[in-house]
Structure 1
């Protein structure tokens, strides 16, 4: 039960191995999946005095929750206009407020539990790779009017003063958003769940579930849990245990690399502690880590897991194209992970049947929505709110199976082509037009 070899695994603050489930146990709620959504659900239920058991097939945070870019910022993978078209304008506003709440929840959890190892650092910058400051100003104004949420607008010269690349134009900086070490955060949350009386079993993949009666039974190879509520909080590594969940998402692979120690070289290109994401539909994201000594760079997606080393070559080309001064910066480590994407590009959160809950399809949404989803499901189980119903328009629609994967890959290539066309050098007559 080893973690994949990532920067986060190499910088773990605690690597305690939790024992697998053995025998029969009873609790109020059994949670399948030890990622951010499942652990947040367990944390909130345990805080309310409920007995919880978490079953994790591998290790806490083994999947995408523990090997991502570490960005915690508002919003979803799809834009507000599309969300409004599917759910209505009022619901779209409430959903965006939930995403802001998710950022605040993760930050407050770090404070409450004093998770120094999460290494939170404020500031995420969204940069344009083409000249369109007017659109950025309009978007910042909309967020200020609708949500009283402030973003700092940066002109091209301000951007290039800290990101020394001629590929960038204007940017919006979110001072409320932050980035962190996600695996250390998850493991600290797991410790708090156990302190509150919850049980977490690693190496305990669920192999069978009986969910029709009032008592839910989830079995592993060596034991079983009996509970009044069952929560399935799995993502890109979801198995066939609950067929509707398995059919409702596409497993999409993404890739991350981290550089060698080279603080002086990195500082020639990047002189900010903000995390950075560009505006391309198939864009890159990166941030300086390890106290400025290394650069973590992520991006690219495929519909099947490829060699991280091969994809690291593509990521590196993106990095050097953006920052030619980093050509001598060597890659020390690269890894991949599977995310779950729904066809409608929104999280899937709801009640499958009485007492059976699901949280999935968090690919591309960041840590904020994954965390707030766990909070919403816990509220529903505790009878405190039915806010999870805001996600009802984004149900468990069939994702298309192998055909859906093929369409997703074609769509990604199309987006890359659109990005290239938008950023291509313009002829003088085009610029005048």
Structure 2
């Protein structure tokens, strides 16, 4: 199985493949899923001396982990007030600290493994499409006061000096957040896992499990793994292997497009290397890539995967609506991917039973939270901490099946309408 055609596939630093599992393997921990969460867990366990086996149904980073926007910033898909309401104020503070820790974990891993091909670039701007100076200043003050995490408030003149759009008002710029090439990052992490003695198998989907005994068994089409621990670290492409996990999330599709090479035209609109995201529900996110030669633009969500080419037309409409000067900028490539969302919009991280762990539902804010989630699961397996219990208020609640998908789509359309109305009042 090859990677789908994306910007990241076209700029892959290496395309080493891993073998298919054939026969029997034994290890301390078997990890199902070769995305950001699974590889982070495998890396931390291998660093601690555990033997690990990673089973990936396709290729390392084949799913959302290797084809997303590349943003690495603190926070979750849900907002702070909703998290505090469900988990309590102090728990919410600890969760946000974990999300910051996830950012630093990715940054430190890039440095420690010298992953130049991840090409990290500092700076992410969160921009408003309506004026609310007080709210943005309050947000910046809160992060500094509560977490000693300094971000920069930008007024409208400062925003429009670098983002030449009448649609934008104030912003908060996070100089500690960054954006990167996620697939190259994953490939480098997989090489380190292998160097430490871990075994990685591609095209090796887990088909059945026997988790009833102290020694667990995970079977694929051509092999079987015996392990003391099993960690299920999957996302939008989760199968029905463990029904309780499959029923607890909704697969939500999002879309990305890549422009032609046109650095001079792009610079008439965007004069910053910062990544940018707006404040709408499922809003636009974008960044210049290849040294400003191209523009990578993402957004839109659907509850069923649609034609990425058709959705690229809608993305272009959003882009030109924001930047009319980019009307002649051609789209060269578009793609989509499935994210996993829980009904409560938080990651689902915990223990199913003795020796069986799960870490999933990172939709909308994956690069920092997958790293953090993988790290706390590794800590739990190693007996180093029980920080995974911070996520106990956000359990494996039923996502609603087909009805849940319909409700999610209707909710998205409703929120879009609210965004449209609010912006028209600006």
Q: Which range, TM-score by smaller chain?
A: over 0.9
Q: 1:425: how far off?
A: 4.8
Q: How does 1:35-184 map to 2 (within 5 A)?
A: 35-184=35-184
Q: Deviations over 1:194-239 (max 9, x none)?
A: 0000000000000010001000100000000000000000100000
The runs of at least 4 consecutive aligned structure 1 residues that moved more than 4 Å come to: none
Partner of 1:192: 192
CA deviation map 1:42-63 (0-9, x unaligned):
0000000000000000000000
Q: Structure 1 CA distance, aligned partners of 2:131 and 2:221?
A: 57
Cα deviation 1:304-360 (Å, max 9, x = unaligned): 000000000000000000000000000000000000000000000000000000011
1:3-402 paired onto structure 2 within 5 Å: 3-402=3-402
Secondary structure of the corresponding residue to residue 241 of structure 2: coil
> How many aligned positions are there?
426
- What secondary structure sits across from 1:292 in the alignment? coil
Distance, in Å, in 2 between the alignment partners of 1:290 and 1:86 is 42
Deviation per CA, 1:101-149, whole angstroms, max 9, x where unpaired? 0000000000000000000000000000001011100111111111111
1:254-309 deviation line (CA, Å, top 9, x unaligned): 00000000001001000100000001123100000011100000000000000000
Cα shift at 1:365: 1.7
Gaps of at least 5 residues in structure 1 are 427-433
Q: What residue is the counterpart of 1:431 in the other structure?
A: none
Aligned mates of 1:235, 1:279 — CA distance in 2 = 24
Task: State TM-score, norm by structure 1.
Answer: 0.98
Q: Does the aligned pair in 2 maintain the 1:73–1:366 contact within 8 Å?
A: no
Once the 2 structures are TM-superposed, how far is the Cα of residue 366 of structure 1 from its aligned partner?
2.8
Give the whole-Å Cα distance in 1 for the aligned partners of 2:147 and 2:42.
30
Deviation at 1:243, TM superposition (A): 0.4
Partner Cα distance (1:18, 1:84) in 2: 43
Tell me the distance in 2 between the aligned counterparts of 1:75 and 1:49. Answer: 31
Residue deviations 1:381-405 (CA, integer Å, cap 9, x gap): 0000000000000000000000000
Measure, in 1, the Cα distance between the counterparts of 2:246 and 2:218: 17
Equivalent residues of 1:235, 1:360 under 8 A apart: yes
- Report if aligned partners of 1:282, 1:415 keep a CA contact under 8 Å in 2: no
Q: How many Å separate the matches in 1 of 2:269 and 2:163?
A: 6
- Cα deviation per residue 1:153-182 (whole Å; 9 max; x = unaligned)? 001000000000010000000000000000
TM (norm. structure 2) is 0.99
What is the rounded CA distance, in whole Å, between the counterparts of 2:389 and 2:401 in structure 1?
A: 26
Unaligned ranges ≥5, structure 2: none
Task: Give the secondary structure class of the aligned counterpart of 1:291.
Answer: coil
Where 1:107 maps in the other structure, the secondary structure is helix
Partners of 1:33 and 1:88 lie apart in 2 by: 31
Which stretch shows the higher mean deviation, 178-187 or 357-366? 357-366
Secondary structure at 2:167 match in 1: coil
